[in-house]
Amino acid sequence: MTDAAIRQAGQADLAALARLRRAQAAEQQGEYGDPGFEQRFAAWQEREAAHRITWLAEADGRLVGMMNLAIFERMPRPGRPASYWGYLANAFVLAGYRNQGIGERLLGAVLGHARQHGFARVVLSPSERSVPFYHRAGFGPAGALLLWTP
C-alpha cells in the first residue's frame, strides 16, 4: 500500500488538477493537443467551486489521484432541516498507483464528508470496470432514479 496523503484541493492545485484530468482523458480516449484546455478547466473550476469539493491523493511528492463530489442542496421544506445529496464524479488514480488503496481512501474521504453532513444519498455513473469497486464500498443499483437522455 502506497503512503498517500488525502486532502481537499485548493486554488494552488489547479494546474495539477488539470494535468490529472488530461491524464484521465488520454487514458480513456487518447492524447489531445487542445491548447485552450487549461483555461477552460480553470473557468469550469471557478464556476463549480461553490458546490463541488475535490479530494486529492498525493504520493511521492506529486498528485496521483482525485475524486470530487458535486453537492446539491434540496429545496427547503417546512419542519425539516436542510438536506443534501451528492454526485460523485471524476474519480481517477494514475495507473502506476492503482490497486494500492488510494481509490479506497479517496472514496472514504468523499463518503465521510457526505456522512458527516447528513447527505440523503450519493450517486454516480460508474465505468463498467469500476462497478466492483463501488459495490465493495456499499453502492447498489439506483432503481428509484429515472434517466432522460436527449
**Mean pLDDT lowest among 10-14, 128-132, 142-146:** 142-146
Q: What is the mean pLDDT of residues 87-92?
A: 96
Architecture in CATH for domain 5-136 = 3-Layer(aba) Sandwich (3.40)
Task: Determine the pLDDT at residue 1.
Answer: 64
| Phi, psi for residue 22 in degrees, rounded to 5 | -60, -45
Q: What is the pTM of this model?
A: 0.90
Predicted pLDDT at 4: 92
Whole-angstrom CA distances from 144 to 9, 82, 132 are 32, 22, 21
User: Does residue 145 register a pLDDT over 80?
Assistant: no
Q: 100-122: per-residue pLDDT in tens?
A: 999 999 999 999 999 999 999 99
